[in-house]
Amino acid sequence: MDTASFIRRFVGLILLAAFQIFLLNRIVLFGYVTPLFYIWMIARFDSSISRSGVLLWAFSLGLVIDISSGTPGLNAASATLLAMFQPALVKMFVPLERHVVLVPGPSSMGGRAFAGYLLLLTALHHTTYFILRSIPLGDWTVIILKIVLSTLLTFVFMLVAEMFTAGTPGNKHS
Amino acid sequence: MRSLLDFIVRHSYVFLFILLETLSLVLLFGFNDRQKMAFMTSANSVTGSLFEWRTDVEQYFALRKENATLATENARLRNLLYELVDSQYVDTERALSVDDVIVARVIDNSVRKDDNYITIDRGTRDGIVKGMGVYSPDGVVGTVMAAGRRYSVIVPVLNGRTSISCKVKGSDSFGFLEWQGGNPYVAQLKDMPYHAAVAEGDTIVTTGFSSVYPEGIMVGTVADVEHMKNGYTLRIQVNLAVDMSNLRWVYIHSRMRDSEIDDLYRQIN
């Protein structure tokens, strides 16, 4: 990875973390639902980064959010887990002959496949996140409600973000 | 041997994953001492300044409403002052005590967690000490849990650790205010004596026993009275007077507890 893309990714990490900490963490619908939009960065990792690189970026992102929101380890753990499975998730939604996907996106994967990929990715992350957060596990209906509703909200955020970033330089691959 | 090395190099990311995940979980479970954690994350200067900056921006947009609230309170205080002047009455107990009020700005707050904390922009250099009572114009907010140099962390009513001595206004029966999570507008008053005359709509105020709060600070109103099965005590649902989700300025009651009281307690125990 060259210096330019490292810096771009680093700035992206800081901006996403700040957006999550100062804005999204304050959103609480019905006392349960919080969008965890920061995983957008993990969803968009392209295959040019090594798997170790993906893990380290995701871990750092989670840790930055943890340190500023008083939840040491919580976001780091769930983001790292997601980063581990992200490449496999991409493969699940792309036909075998197109395994050379660079950036996961609607143009490279197809709109429907990309939406499915985002939804599954979000669900995986939110499940680990809310289970870890709710330890010692108490009321399962509440935990499941938090997972399902927050997943949907984060997913909506991602679709909106996709609409805004469509056509920008980051999307030019494929 | 060579193929083993190859395998390790090719799958180094798996080891990295295990390392990072272990590190995260150690952090997650290692920092369960919430007191230490809240202090580490909020009262330290770096995040403190960031929160302060965010609050600055937010409060700029809320200035109009803020002004209205301050004006209302000003009016109320002015009324109180006139009443005092009119009555020519000197409350000797109050005059002799070393009451002092510090005003602080809320720079971080939460209401949705099981254990919520509030961070304010006053610390030891402003005279804040652990254990001081915190209230807003509307009523009781909580107790100072940790004081840093410039910032302090407050355990609000909306926290499982809270227990505040309260009574029904106009009577002397008292109980302890606690919160069990969930609804941020309702707390429970426990251990009220069975015979206490309490009705829906009654006002709950602080007792002033612990000298953490002055006597008679508003807590809330009675929403529901439940007779406990043990036959001795009542459990009362209290609608909190303070909207914790919309807290901008608080007062810290810095009356120092007379050390003689502490000494006496130490002799007993």
pLDDT at A136: 62
In a domain, B251, yes or no: yes
CB contact under 8 A, B27 and A81: no
Nearest to residue A166, comparing CAs of A105, A117, A83? A105
Nearest to A73 among B17, B27, B42 (CB): B27
Q: Are B75 and B207 part of one and the same domain? A: no
Nearest to A55 among B20, B28, B41 (CB): B20
Q: Are B44 and B73 part of one and the same domain? A: yes
In a domain, B268, yes or no: no
In a domain, B48, yes or no: yes
pLDDT tens for A49-100 read 888 889 999 999 999 988 887 778 889 999 999 999 988 888 888 765 555 6
In a domain, B44, yes or no: yes
The residue of A14, A20, A22 whose CB has the most chain B CBs within 10 angstroms, and thus the best one to mutate to test that interface, is A22
Q: Are B120 and B236 part of one and the same domain? A: no
In a domain, B269, yes or no: no
Q: Are B119 and B250 part of one and the same domain? A: yes
Nearest to residue B220, comparing CAs of B153, B250, B175? B175
Cross-strand partners of B134:
B142, B252
Q: Which helix (H) or strand (E) holds B110?
A: none
Q: Are B88 and B199 part of one and the same domain? A: no
pLDDT tens for A4-35 read 888 888 898 989 888 888 888 777 777 678 88
Is A57 in contact with A68 (CB distance < 8 Å)? Answer: no
Q: Are B85 and B172 part of one and the same domain? A: no
pLDDT at B245: 84
Spatial neighbors of B267 by CB under 8 A, at least 6 apart, are none
Q: Which domain holds residue B6?
A: 2-30
In a domain, B67, yes or no: yes
Nearest to B28 among A51, A69, A74 (CB): A74
CB contact under 8 A, A84 and B17: yes
- CATH code for the domain of B120: 2.40.10.340
Q: Are B67 and B130 part of one and the same domain? A: yes
Q: Are B26 and B70 part of one and the same domain? A: no
Spatial distance between the Cα atoms of B166 and A174, rounded to a whole number of angstroms: 67
**CB of B112 less than 8 A from some CB of A:** yes
Q: Are B18 and B51 part of one and the same domain? A: no
Nearest to residue A19, comparing CAs of A65, A66, A80? A65
In a domain, B261, yes or no: no
Nearest to B16 among A31, A55, A77 (CB): A55
Q: Which residue shows structure tokens 């193929």?
A: B3
Q: Are B125 and B6 part of one and the same domain? A: no
A134 vs B contacts (CB less than 8 Å): none
Q: Which helix (H) or strand (E) holds A40?
A: helix A40-43
- CATH code for the domain of B176: 2.40.10.350
Q: Are B52 and B18 part of one and the same domain? A: no
CA distances, A51 to each of A17, A47, A48, B222 (Å)? 21, 8, 9, 58
| Total domain count, chain B | 3
For chain B of 269 residues, list the mean pLDDT of each consecutive stretch of 10: 78 88 83 49 64 77 77 74 60 49 84 82 86 87 88 88 86 86 86 84 86 83 85 87 87 70 77
Q: Are B46 and B128 part of one and the same domain? A: yes
**Chain B, nearest residue to A54 by Cα:** B13
Residues 35-94 (A) with a CB less than 8 A from some CB of B:
50-52, 55-56, 59, 62-63, 66-70, 72-74, 76-77, 80-81, 84
In a domain, B262, yes or no: no
Q: Is the pLDDT of residue A155 over 90?
A: yes
Which domains occur in chain A, in start order? 3-171 (1.10.1760)
pLDDT at B137: 83
